[in-house]
Structure 1
Amino acid sequence: MGSLAKRAKLLKEYWGIRDGNNRYSMVRQNGEPKTTYDIAEVIGESRRTTERLIKLNDLIPELQ
């Protein structure tokens, strides 16, 4: 699996971002919850590409 996919997964887990409802454990300085947009900004990819990278982590190891 690519390092970007691993980094995206790590940030998603660290910030407590959940699929669909965007619940969170960490908030931005302005009080809004962290989202996949924030992950995308950190790793330098689009939101859609970031979502695809995160999904790569769900594949069986042979397909990763």
Structure 2
Amino acid sequence: MQRTPVSSSNLASVGYDRTSQTLEIEFQNRSIYQYFNVPEGVYNELMQAASLGSYFNDCIRGAFSYRKVSR
């Protein structure tokens, strides 16, 4: 999945696959996680958030099933 670099102290890059509704996040520590069944609207809100880290913590972490992809 191709990810877009983002400006965040916590997140390094973010990718999204519309077909599978999979959100992929690379954190600044280089670990990569995939979150499943994430609506496209949540992805769009994340990418437009004033603080991506805060949006992630408030709306994504703990709300979706996930798996660690690397590191």
TM range, normalised to the smaller chain? Answer: under 0.3
Instruction: State the TM-score, normalized to the length of structure 1.
Output: 0.27
From the two aligned structures, give the one with the greater strand fraction.
2
From the two aligned structures, give the one with the greater helix fraction.
1
Q: Which has the larger radius of gyration?
A: 1
